[in-house]
């Protein structure tokens, strides 16, 4: 078995196919969907680097046996996830050790050079909890959740207050409005008539081979006198080969919340997925967002634990 560093040009299609096959075998999100890999490479990594952080895809590592991928380290900012093919669970402990050795630059150091190393693991993968606790990791109370819906089996309507309209990205041309509204939804303190933001992550996402099959879904306020009348924004990655979709990100501006707008937008996403023949659509959530997605028709499939371990500078130097 060999371990190698991910190379975007030479390894993307192979890693994408591995993740797709993991899904087709397990029919769940215990491994990343290839859509999430594309979101990391083509959107999130741009946001990380523009914020002065390391590029996560530079710290993807692949385990291969006879030229077949059997596992990989998948970092996302200051968090590490491992995907492992069934039958190879015994490599998990060594993968954690390897990630501490190789992926520590992704984590912010305190004044003493120590880091809070974070590993993420689906709670349905019970063996991972046992290994992590054995290695001295502690699970935090808060969790994330994988949520799904079967678009082909749903009958939904889009109910919006008077004056609001749901459209898909190609029907609304102002890209700055869409991307700004997305960011303002996550950061209400940015709300101002003249707010503008860097468009590099938005435009770079178009380099993904999945982009042409993917779509934006937005809700606009037709009565608004503001320059930006986008209320709610989402982008959905589509993988036609696995007939899956991943919604990332989802954002509603604070002043438009609690009006049913976000729910209507999620229904628009589901209906578009149904039109495209998508069999299963996923969205990841935390705390209160789980209730929001469940209300919109999604079912929680799995919970996700966050495991922390303080790695001090002295211990780190001893592993190198």
The three-state DSSP-derived secondary structure of 61-84 is EEEEECCEEEEEEEECCCCEEEEE
Residue 124 included in any domain: yes
96, 173: one domain: no
Please tell me whether residues 246 and 122 are part of one structural domain: no
For residues 289, 294, 25, 16, the Cα torsion angle rounded to the nearest 10 degrees is -40
Residue 70 lies in a domain: yes
Say whether both 11 and 119 belong to one domain. Answer: yes
Which ranges in the chain belong to alpha helices (H)? 8-26, 34-39, 45-50, 92-102, 126-134, 175-186, 200-204, 261-275, 287-295, 313-319
Looking at the fold, whether 130 and 162 belong to one and the same domain comes out as no
Please give the C-alpha separations between residue 111 and each of 46, 116, 268, 312, in angstroms, as whole numbers: 27, 12, 47, 11
Residues 133 and 216 in one domain: no
Based on the fold, state whether residues 216 and 125 are members of the same structural domain.
no
Whether 284 maps to a domain, the answer reads no
If asked whether residues 92 and 223 sit together in one domain, one would say no
259 lies in some domain: yes
Phi, psi of 51 (to 5 degrees): -90, 5
Q: Does some domain include residue 286?
A: no
Domain hosting 27: range is 2-144+304-319
pLDDT score of 318: 52
Is residue 76 within 8 A of residue 40, CB to CB? The reply is yes
Query: Which residue matches tokens 């077949």?
Result: 68
Phi and psi at 139, nearest 5°, equal -85, 130
Whether 290 is in a domain gets the answer no
Residue closest to 217 by CA, chosen among 291, 280, 284, 267: 267
* CATH code of 197's domain: 3.40.630.30
Do residue 203 and residue 232 come from a single domain?
yes
CA distance 121 to 188: 30
Number of domains in the chain: 2
pLDDT per position in the chain (320 positions), as tens?
999 999 999 999 999 999 999 999 999 999 999 999 999 999 999 999 999 999 999 999 999 999 999 999 999 999 999 999 999 999 999 999 999 999 999 999 999 999 999 999 999 999 999 999 999 999 999 999 999 999 999 999 999 999 999 999 999 999 999 999 999 999 999 998 778 889 999 999 999 999 999 999 999 999 999 899 999 999 999 999 999 999 999 999 999 999 999 999 999 999 999 999 999 999 999 878 999 999 999 999 999 999 999 998 665 555 55
8 and 91 co-located in one domain: yes
Task: Please check whether residues 272 and 202 belong to one and the same domain.
Answer: yes
272's tokens: 């578009």
CA angle 208, 241, 126 (to 5 degrees): 95
Q: Tell me the whole-structure pTM to 2 decimals.
A: 0.95
- Residues 265, 195 share a domain: yes
The reply to whether 299 falls in a domain is no
């Amino acid at each position: 078995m060999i371990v190698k560093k991910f190379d975007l040009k030479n390894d993307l299609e192979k890693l994408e196919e591995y993740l797709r096959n993991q899904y087709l075998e397990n029919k769940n999100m215990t491994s990343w969907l290839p859509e999430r890999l594309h979101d990391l490479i083509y959107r999130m990594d741009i946001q990380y680097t523009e914020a002065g952080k390391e590029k996560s895809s530079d710290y993807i590592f692949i385990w291969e046996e006879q030229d077949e991928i059997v596992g990989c380290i998948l970092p996302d900012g200051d968090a590490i996830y491992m995907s492992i093919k069934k039958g190879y669970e015994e490599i998990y402990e060594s993968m954690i050790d390897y990630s501490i050795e190789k992926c520590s630059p992704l984590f912010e150091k305190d004044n003493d050079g120590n880091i809070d190393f974070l590993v993420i693991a689906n709670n349905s993968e019970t063996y991972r909890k046992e290994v992590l606790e054995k290695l001295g990791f502690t699970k935090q109370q808060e969790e994330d959740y994988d949520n799904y819906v079967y678009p082909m089996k749903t009958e939904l309507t889009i109910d919006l207050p008077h004056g609001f309209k749901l459209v898909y990205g190609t029907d609304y041309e102002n890209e700055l409005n869409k991307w700004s509204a997305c960011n303002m939804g996550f950061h209400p303190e940015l709300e101002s008539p003249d707010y503008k933001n860097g468009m590099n992550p938005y435009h770079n996402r178009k380099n993904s081979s999945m982009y042409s099959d993917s779509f934006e879904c937005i809700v606009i306020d037709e009565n608004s006198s503001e320059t930006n009348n986008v209320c709610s924004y989402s982008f959905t990655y589509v993988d036609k080969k696995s007939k899956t979709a991943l919604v990332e990100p989802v954002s509603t501006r604070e002043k438009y919340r609690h009006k049913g707008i976000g729910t209507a937008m999620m229904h628009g996403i589901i209906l578009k997925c149904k039109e495209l023949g998508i069999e299963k659509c996923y969205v990841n959530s935390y705390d209160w967002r789980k209730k929001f997605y469940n209300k919109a028709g999604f079912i929680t499939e799995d919970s996700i634990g966050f495991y922390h371990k303080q790695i001090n500078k002295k211990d780190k130097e001893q592993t190198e």
